[in-house]
Structures are given as C-alpha cells and as structure tokens.
C-alpha cells in the first residue's frame, strides 16, 4: 500500500491518495481544490479511484469533491454531523472566509455514524471520531501500513484551530489523547496541512499537548 500527499489550493490542504500496487485501485481523502491537478495525477499513475472520503467538511477540504466525483463516478463518504456542510457554504466556511467562490455541492452518498471500520474494495481501515476542530472530524487508521490520516486534528508541532463554528479546544485535546496518541509511536501521522509526522514525535515535542 502506498500513500501520496498532494497539497492543493491557496491553503495548501493535503489531499491523500492511498493506493494498492497489486490492482491500482485507490481512495481519495480530502480533495480540497484544483480538481484538474488531482485528476491529472490519478490518470498519470493509472489509478482507479473507488471513493472520496472526507476527514471533515471545511471548504478547503471539499472544494474539488464534485469535480472528482463526477469525473470518476465514485461515491463520497462523510460523518453524519457534517452531512449538510457539503451543500451549505455557511456551514463549510466558504461563505465566511470568501476565498474564491462559495463551495456548494451535492450530498454525500454515504453518511458515517458510529462505524469503527470501513471496507471499500480491497481496502480495510479503522475509523476514529476526533471532533474538536469540527464536530464531525474523523481520522482513518491503516493499521497494517502504519499510518493515520488525521485531517486537521493533529499537525507536526501543532493541533487544529478551534475558533471556527463548532470548534471545541478541550474536546480536540481529548480526541487527540484518546484516539490518536494511543496508536503505536511509530505510526505516521498524515495531517490536513503541512508535513507528515509520527505519533511518537508529537508525544515528545508537541507543545500543545503538554499538561493535558
């Protein structure tokens, strides 16, 4: 299994392509913007997308959802608490920040509730609810491959902002400690912005996690 980090848009939001070498299928996490750039990468690598999966639905993580969904005819997965955000610029923040056009698309094909594991094609991974940055934030743990896609919960040396509507600082810290820091220290953390890190590195040096 391979993962590819592709920063997209003005905010350089990380989109992740997780692929299988044996059959070239892939999953797309957080296609935030620049759909043409993302499509070109997928076609160049001769990958076969199976689904779009969202860590959360802030505008910088969903801007290219409709373009990619339509091009590859694949379903979209999102947490139930943010199911309406895809269709409402006021909820996804694009109306608030006015960076580019308001983001307004169609509803997700699959709404996740309390699932702990998800299987799509030959992919199987664990789901952890990690609210705090947003109410429906999710993290996706690929145990055998040793990485977790953490969205905007945990960054290298930092944590997600909690000053947006629905944000909760105490809840975010609780999510990080109870859902992410319990993973093996060598687990690679793939954040929504910035470089990859590891659980161990953040346990040792992340200043926002001290004194919890």
Query: pLDDT, tens digit, for every residue of 173-206?
Result: 999 999 999 999 999 999 999 999 999 999 999 9
Q: How many CB atoms lie within 10 A of CB 212?
A: 10
Task: Confirm if 172 and 133 have CB atoms less than 8 A apart.
Answer: yes
Residue that is written with structure tokens 């373009």 in the block: 67
Classify strands 13-19 and 2-8 as parallel, antiparallel or unpaired.
antiparallel
Helix (H, G, I), strand (E, B) or coil at 188: strand
Tell me what pLDDT residue 162 has. Answer: 95
Strand order in the sheet with 188-191: 117-120, 123-129, 138-142, 147-151, 188-191, 197-198
Q: 25: number of CA atoms within 13 Å, CB side? A: 10
User: Which residues 6+ apart lie within 8 Å of 72 measured at CB?
Assistant: 39, 42, 49
Q: At 168, give phi and psi (nearest 5°).
A: -150, 110
Supply the pLDDT for residue 210. 79
Q: Is the pLDDT of residue 212 over 90?
A: no
pLDDT tens digits, 124-152: 999 999 999 999 999 999 999 999 999 99
Sequential DSSP letters for 5-46: EEEETTTTEEEEEEE-TTT-EEEEE---S-HHHHHHHHHHTT
Per-residue pLDDT, 201:
97
Q: Determine the Cα–Cα distance for residues 80 and 89; give it in Å rounded to an integer.
A: 17
Closest CA to 136 of 155, 164, 156, 158: 164
d(CA 189, CA 167): 21
Residue 99's pLDDT is 66
- The yes-or-no verdict on residue 68 having pLDDT over 90 is yes
Q: What is the pTM of this model?
A: 0.96
């Amino acid at each position: 299994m391979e993962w590819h980090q592709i920063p997209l848009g003005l905010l350089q939001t990380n989109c992740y392509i997780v692929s299988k070498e044996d059959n070239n299928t892939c999953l797309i996490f957080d296609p935030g913007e620049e759909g043409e750039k993302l499509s070109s990468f997928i076609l160049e690598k001769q990958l076969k997308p199976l689904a779009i999966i969202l860590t959360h639905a802030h505008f910088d993580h969903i801007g290219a959802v409709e373009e990619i969904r339509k091009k590859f005819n694949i379903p979209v997965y999102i947490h139930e608490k943010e199911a309406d955000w895809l269709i409402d610029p006021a909820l996804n923040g694009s109306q608030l920040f006015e960076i580019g056009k308001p983001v307004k698309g169609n509803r997700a094909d699959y709404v996740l509730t309390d699932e702990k594991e998800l299987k799509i094609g030959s992919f199987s991974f664990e789901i952890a609810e990690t609210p705090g940055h947003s109410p429906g934030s999710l993290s996706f743990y690929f145990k055998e491959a040793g990485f977790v896609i953490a969205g905007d919960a945990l960054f290298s040396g930092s944590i997600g902002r909690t000053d947006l509507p629905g944000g909760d600082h105490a809840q975010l810290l609780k999510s990080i400690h109870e859902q992410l820091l319990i993973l093996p220290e060598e687990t690679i953390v793939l954040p929504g912005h910035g470089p990859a890190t590891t659980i161990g590195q953040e346990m040792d040096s992340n200043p926002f996690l001290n004194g919890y």
